[in-house]
Structures are given as structure tokens and as C-alpha cells.
A and B are shown apart, each in its own frame.
Chain A
Amino acid sequence: MDPATILDNNHELSLREFPYIVRWRDDRCTRCGRCTTVCPVNAIEPAPHVHRRIYSEGGTPNPKAEREIVHVVKQVTDVDRYCTGCGTCTLVCPNEAIEPEYNPRHKLLTYKNKGGVPFRRGGRRNDPSTSTVDQLKFTRISMLTDPALDAGRHEFRIRTLLGRNLPAEALPLKKRGDRLVVGKTHERGQAEDGHTAHGFIPPVREIYPIRIGSMSIGALSPHMWEGLAMGVAYLNEVEGMPVVMCTGEGGMPPRLLKSRFAKYFILQIASGYFGWDEIVHAIPEMTEDPAGIEIKYGQGAKPGDGGLLMAYKVLKLIAQIRGVPEFVDLASPPTHQTKYSIEEAVAKMIQSMSMAWGFRVPVYPKISGTKTAMAVLNNLARNPYAGALCIDGEDGGTGAAYNVSMDKMGHPIASNIRDCYLDLVAQGKQNELPLIAAGGMGKTGNLAANAAAMIMLGASAVDTGKHIMQAAAWCFGDEYNRCNLCNTGRCPRGITTQDPKLYRRLDPDKVAERVVEVFKSADVELRKIFAPLGRSTELPIGMSDALGVADQSIAERLRISYVC
């Protein structure tokens, strides 16, 4: 007799445990097999199904039974091959016969956490709720004495500053007749109030206030990264928008590093120091300074957790750029192992990075959103070489983070930036040290509105990462837990994979085009926001009177007006 495991399915999971249930329509399916071929996780497969058909022939009922084999598309109940809802099957199906449907009551994590190792998945947070930033509205419309501006016709200057601004009291200026001139280096002494030492004027860049946040080459496919880079170059050189992009951990292709395009990139140095050997060696041959140096201490999606580039993503190109052997796991530790505190890091890393580029490049750290951000900020505020502070809120990132980190750890960005800005205001340094906000910008598609809201809360610029990644590749993910294959190396769109079969699906030129489109439309939207507010010349940094929110407690916390 057959064993019980064949006779019943008691030992298996039911489809109801899975985050997605694949809805397949027998009547529409032509069994072409495309869906099962493209499924990146093999969650569906063609399967024979035995039917017992009852039929009758002749004038009087005479039922007969017949066994019939039909071919179906079956969703597997193997927990390692669960449907991620990427929807690739839907895209390739000619007859709209198949579609994954989200199952809000799934229990996937219960089964995926095995052997003391929590399910490591990456991808997006599971929290589809409206973030605080998305709840903010722009309530101050200029109607009082002169009418609001015309977003379509008025001249706008949507630019921000990256790098440390000297306070006006410390500028080495001298009066010569009716004009002010900059004192020569040897004439510059220390200002009376001790603001500046040795007449050093820190480097400052004028950039577009929305930056492409750090996403490494290696995590992103070559086509994706190349597309982003081309888009950024086009935005700068053709559209005249000084958009900058951060390389993320993992360096940059040496050819690009030595090219004139290097000035559009911020080089990130993270705890793994991947790619830095190449960068350091390229310095003598660099024709342009990079836009900045970002020292990564933390990441919003997995605060206090290190990064990981899985062995199967470390192909030849990546290995070369990063200066490591092929096919080994590349783990970035959660801290810079050579430094025991941010104070020391501030003292050493900022200094040495500044020195490496002759003090011509802004150097600043990026930290996870945290309650201790203000302490880090105050430390930086006292360091004349610190160029900015980037804070990455909990909503950010798509990296290889544990679910618990993604979902439960981190600090929302809105109040974190607001606290830091008000702290700088109290010290009179709100213009000296730019704050850059990251984490969930554009999460629900409102990139410009999110950026404008953060700027009005006090940020000088914002970073967008996963939004630009999704938008530029026409990723079919959303915040309802769709896809989330970013960390698996099996991205069906070809964004975060090193598998040529997959990343060839992505055309770098199309990516570049989309990057440009996203920024151009964000620019129009920013004008549409700033114009009615009456701002066009400088960014409304800290213009908190323009913000309102229909939640009393958020209003009180952020010190903005409560509207309903």
C-alpha cells in the first residue's frame, strides 16, 4: 500500500500560508508555457492533473467514468519556492490567464525562519501604510498681497549646497572701497569668535536637491548602474540639472573614475572598503574631483547591521572593481572596524578623505536614522571639515536585510531631520551643516512632494534610492510586498541581478531615459509646489510655516500647523 504521504497532503503547507496565491484561469490558458519559463523563483510549474470525468451517451442516462489527463499551471507549496508576487507571469501571458494575488493573512515567516536563522530576504518593507512624510501637505499658499508665482513661466533656481558653509562672520572678507574682496590665504587669520582656523574655506558644491542615493555596483546589475550613470551625465550636461549620484559601497568602474564624469558622483566609503583600493590608485589619474565623499556608518533599512553581497553576485566585473576574488560573499561589517566611535571617525576619516583630495571635496558621513543622530550632528557641527550629515530613515533600502531589521528597526526620517534642524537652529548653524534626508523618499511615488516636505522640515537635500531604481527600470514592484527579490540575485526585471540572462532584459539606454524623465518631472512638480508658496530663488529650507498635517500629534512633534 502507498505510504500516507502520497495518499494525503497533511504534511504540506496549503496555499493559504503563502504571501501570494497564483490565480490561474483554465479557460483562458493556452498552455504556452511562458509563465512557468519566466518565473524567477519557480513558484509555478506545468503539471499533469488527472481528472475523473463522468459522461453519458445515448438516449437514456447511462453515466460512465473516465480518467483524463489535463495540463495545468500549478503553484507549488514548497516554502523555498514561494510566489513573490513579482507578476512576471502576468506580463508574459498573452491571454491574461494568470495573476498573483496578495494574501494579507499569510504566515510565510513562520515557516521561512529555520535553523535559528531568521529569513533573510531584502526587498521592500512590508509596511504599506502612509508615512508621515506622505501625510504632510503644503498649506501656505501665497495669496496675501501679491499673487502666487507661475510655475510654468517664472524663473526658478532649484539648487542646494553640499558641503560646509562658513558662517558669514568667519568669511575672510575685506572691504576695498565699496567692494568686498576675499583676503589672500596668508592674510586670513582666525576670526575673532574662533569660527575658522587658518582661513580655510571648505569646498561647497551646488547640486540638485534630489540626489540618487547610494546603491552599489554589484548590488545593482551593470545595466542598471550604467543606465543610472548615463542618466545623471545627461541631466548634468544636456538638461543643466546638477544631479549627483552616490556610488554606494563597492567603488566605481576605473574608466569612469578617471573620466570627466567623475564630478557627478559621490564616492561612498563604507565599512567593507570595497573598491577603495581602485579609487585610491586612481586618484593621481583623476581628471575631475568627485562631487563628494560619503562615509557610510549606517543604513536606514538595517540599522546596526552590515551589508552583504552574496557570492553568486560577485562576477568578474564586480570582483575586479571591488578588488576581491570572484564568487565569495562580501560582507561589510556593521561598523568601521578600525574605528571605535563616530568621534574618532570624524576626526580621522573626514580628515584623511579631505586630505586625499586636497581639501577640495566635501566629505560627510551617512548614518541610520536614530535617536542619537543629534549627538552625531553636534559632533560634526564642531568639526570644521565635516561637509554635511546624511540621515537614512527607516523606510529606505532594499538590501539584504533581515525582516526584523526592515520592519521593526530604525527611526522615521521626518522627526529625525526636524529635531536635527531645530538643534542647528538653536546653535545658529542651520546653514553651515547641510542635512540630507533619505529613507522612503518617493516610496509611494510622490518623490517631489516628499522632497519638498523634507526640505521644509529642514533638510538641504534628499536621497532617493529604491524609488529611482523602480521608476528607472519600470520595476513592477510596489509596497505590498510584491517581488522583493532584490537580494536574491534573481530580479526578474534585471535590476539587482548579476545574471546576464536576467539583466539583459534591461536596456541601459531606457533606464537612462527614465532617470531623466523622473528628474525632469520631479523638477516640474517641485516648481508646482514652490510657486504657490512664493519661493523660487532659494530652496525653502526650514520653511515650516508652509507645512500642515491632519494629525495633531504629528503637528506638535514636528512643530508645524495642525490642519483638518
Chain B
Amino acid sequence: MCRLSAITSAEYFSPMENVMALNTMKEGHDGSGLGLVLRDLGGDFKDLKQYPILSGIASSEGLAELDTFMSGLGFREVHFWQPDIDDKAPEPELGRRDHYFAKAYEYPVDMQKRPQAEKEELLLDARLALRELGEEDESIFVFSFYPDTVTLKEVGDPLELGRFFRLDDGKLKARIILAQGRQNTNYDIYLYACHPFFLQGYCTMTNGENTAFVPIMEFLTSRGFPGYMGYNSDSEVFAHILHYTQRQLGYPLTYYKDVITPLAEKEIDGRKDAEALRLIRRSLRPLCIDGPNCVIGFAPDGTVFMVQDAKKLRPGIVGGVPGKYALMSEECGLDEAVPRRDKTEDFSPMKYDMAIIKPGASEMVRWSQLTP
């Protein structure tokens, strides 16, 4: 089962902290991959917050093609980050790629004063077009294109990859970092199948088995939103459900829990918003995940959360100190990430719970679905 490590902090920190946490949880993931999404960036990107950042992997030809495409759209590159690769570290399993990159761009001139929603649409369209461009020959993989966000994915052991990318060199830092140590199970090793998944500021990673994958995928793809595509992993849908309920439907975050793990009719009666909840449950019936899954994610405002359904036999765990909280799939990961904490305050969200940590990581809120 995949190992998940999310850390949210008031200060910038290195993704190596997540990698170290994944390493303590190694028993359980097969080291077949690492996925990282960094949000609220520090380091080299600290002063580039207004620019969208394109993260991906490309061959030399792919990168040239990508540059031509981007300049064709009117994007002007303002920063080009590449990891300072450690040649002594073992190479990724599928061999070293030509370019790992995160490029910050200035918006095309005619877009600069447009509303944020329109800009986000452009970013999504550009990312999807690039994905299509490089999909067949695998010359271009783009994982995210969004302000203040960097995504890095590669196949191999997380710790070795951390060394390979020199993630501890201080150039890449963030206040929110989600990392997944991958357990490659049934599918071919494919970069796009690696968590976390990101879409327009919404991001999730998951472990478990999404038994409702096909109906959810069919429901989402039939919404007519171009970003609902891919689905190389059965948990990609969780990020899209979050996006759909929050961005498209405008629901508050806690309703994500109500959508993916709906209450029974009788339980709904106890809620003040019962009438609305009942309608939501009916209308979004196909989005019930039916598990067993643990989902960790963040929303565009930087709120990090963890939820799981009733079937998750071993839930994830959340704990920390004011200023730094970690959401982990295993307790040993939490011990590694925030060793000095009050362990009695650790929280494993169960059937009805959601652990929510607002930006700034000052406290962890335990929200229950049964709260009237």
C-alpha cells in the first residue's frame, strides 16, 4: 500500500523531510516511485508567487517543443529551475531523463489583467495540450501548471530519488508538501499514474483501493470539464471530486467528506443542513467512494486535510505542534516528521471524521460529519 506523507508548516521546509518520513514507513511501499507536490513555495521560488509554474519531465527534443509551444501561446519564461542532480546517487529505475524542470512564466500580455478564473482556464488548456503533445512518445510529461506549485515525480526508491535530485540543497522549499511513496500494484509503471494529483489548486493523494472507480470516472468525465481526464490511477478521481465539489459547485471543504462518504438517511436527520445534505447525497450519489481509502489533500487556500471511509482498516494519523503538523499513513512517519509533539493529541480520523489544518498550521481541527 502506498505510503503518504503530508507536512504543513508555518515555516518553509525541505521536501527531504517528507522523503525521510516516507523512508521510515518503507515497509509497505515497494519503493517504486516518488511523487511530490509543493505548495506555498520558498527557496528559489519565494519571490515568484504571482507567476504560474509548469512542472514536468521532458527529453531534450520535448523541451524544445515545449518551449516553442509556450512562446507560441505568448508565455514568457521568467525562471527555469532544474534539480542539481547528484551523479553519484543511483539513477531512477527507468533511467535518467534529460530534463526535470519547473518553469515560471509571465502570462501572455493579453491575459495579464484578466480574472483569475480565466487565467486558470488558460493554464489548464495549455497543460492538457502539452500532455497530448508528448504523450505518445513520452517526450513530455507535465504534472501541474499553476502559480506557487511545483510537482516532481519519478520512478524509484523515494530516498534514493531524494538524493538524486538533491532535495536537501535548500533550493526547493515550501510550506505545504505532499509526498507519496509508491506501491506499484496492478498497472505498468507510468509517471502520470503517480500521486499526488493536482488540478487548479486542488490536490490529493490516496492509499487504498477505490472500488467505485469506474462509475466515478464516468460521472466526472461526463461533466464536460476538460481537466477531468487521464485517470491513470484509480485515485486520480479523488482530486477531481475535490475540484468538482469545491470549485465547480462551490461547496465548503467539509462537504467533500459528505460527498465521498455520504451519511445514511437517518444520520442526515441530525444535521442542521439536513435538507441540503439530502439533496447533495442524491445528486452526487455516483461520487460515493465506497473505499477503502485514506485521502490526504489540500485546497487552493492552503488548507490541508485527511479523510477516510468506514472501510479503511488502518487509518492515517495526524499530529504535530502549533506551526507544524504532519498527516501520515503510518505513525512512524509522524514520529519522524514531528518527533516533539504531544502524542496523546494524535488523531486518526475514523468513519465520520475529517482532520483539517488551516494555512499557518496553528492548529488541527477535528470535524465530525455528525456535528449538528
Contact = CB atoms under 8 A, between A and B. Distances in A.
B279 A166 contact: yes
B27 interface: no
B344 interface: no
B265 to A, nearest CB: 6
B218 interface: yes
Contacts of B208: 145-146
A427 B186 CA distance: 31
A169 B283 CA distance: 9
Interface in A200-220: 201, 204, 206
Contact of A538 (B212, B250, B252, B275): B212
A536 interface: yes
Contacts of A430: 215, 218-219, 222, 286
Interface string B206-235: 011101111100110011100000000000
Nearest to A140: B211
Contact of B223 (A149, A181, A428, A537): A428
B209 A145 contact: yes
Interface in B273-300: 273, 275-277, 279-280, 282-286, 288, 290-292
B185 interface: yes
Interface stretch (B13-21, B96-104, B110-118, B306-314): B306-314
Contacts of A204: 282
A545 interface: yes
Nearest to B213: A545
A469 to B, nearest CB: 31
B310 A431 contact: no
B294 to A, nearest CB: 10
A146 B311 contact: yes
Contacts of A155: 310
Interface in B1-15: 1
Interface stretch (B55-63, B140-148, B151-159, B254-262): B254-262
Contact of B252 (A167, A168, A179): A179
A442 B252 CA distance: 44
A178 interface: yes
Given A165-B285, A542-B214, A144 B290 contact: no
Interface residues of B, number: 49
Contact of B283 (A167, A182, A533, A536): A167
B286 A178 contact: no
Contacts of A492: none
Contacts of A169: 248-249
Contacts of B211: 140, 142, 533-535, 540, 543
B264 interface: yes
B251 interface: yes
Given A428-B224, A537-B290, A543-B212, A173 B264 contact: no
A166 B272 contact: no
Contact of A535 (B224, B252, B273, B290): B290
A537 B214 contact: no
A430 B222 CA distance: 9
B313 to A, nearest CB: 6
A543 B215 CA distance: 6
A180 B279 CA distance: 11
A318 B310 CA distance: 51
Contacts of A147: 313
Contacts of A429: 222
A152 B280 CA distance: 30
Given A168-B284, A428-B224, A173 B279 contact: yes
Nearest to A424: B222
Given A168-B249, A545-B213, A534 B292 contact: yes
A188 B36 CA distance: 43
Given A534-B211, A534-B292, A537-B262, A180 B251 contact: yes
Interface residues of A, number: 46
Task: Determine the main DSSP class of A at the interface with B.
Answer: loop
Contacts, number: 135
Contacts of A182: 275-276, 279
Contact of A206 (B186, B254, B265): B265
B215 A540 contact: yes
Contacts of A540: 211-212, 215, 290
Contacts of A537: 261-262, 288, 290-291, 309-310
A192 to B, nearest CB: 12
Interface in A136-188: 140, 142, 144-147, 149, 154-155, 157, 161, 165-169, 171, 173, 175, 178-182
Interface in A468-522: none
A6 to B, nearest CB: 73
A436 interface: no
A180 B276 contact: yes
A450 interface: no
Contacts of B309: 537
A535 B273 CA distance: 27
Contacts of A201: 279
A350 B279 CA distance: 22
A188 B288 CA distance: 27
B371 to A, nearest CB: 10
A15 B212 CA distance: 57
Contact of B255 (A180, A426, A428, A533): A180
A178 B207 CA distance: 28
Contacts of B251: 180
Which residue, of A145, A166, A178, A427, has the highest number of chain B Cβ atoms within 10 A? Answer: A145
Contacts of A541: 215, 285-286
A535 B210 CA distance: 10
A171 B276 CA distance: 9
B254 A545 contact: no
B214 A545 contact: yes
B151 to A, nearest CB: 24
A496 to B, nearest CB: 37
A538 B186 CA distance: 25
Contacts of B248: 169
Nearest to B185: A144
A430 B280 CA distance: 15
B209 A144 contact: yes
A538 to B, nearest CB: 4
A431 B285 contact: yes
A171 B280 contact: yes
A544 interface: yes
A425 interface: yes
A534 B252 contact: no
Interface string A114-152: 000000000000000000000000001010111101000
17 contacts: A146-B291, A147-B313, A173-B276, A173-B279, A180-B251, A180-B255, A180-B277, A425-B219, A430-B222, A431-B285, A431-B286, A534-B311, A537-B288, A538-B262, A540-B211, A541-B286, A543-B211
Given A165-B283, A537-B288, 12 more contacts: A142-B209, A145-B208, A146-B292, A146-B313, A167-B283, A169-B248, A171-B279, A180-B255, A182-B276, A538-B262, A538-B285, A541-B215
The 5 closest A-B pairs by CB, nearest first: A534-B211, A428-B222, A146-B292, A538-B288, A180-B276
Interface of B: 1, 183, 185-186, 207-209, 211-215, 218-219, 222-224, 248-252, 254-255, 261-262, 264-265, 272-273, 275-277, 279-280, 282-286, 288, 290-292, 309-313
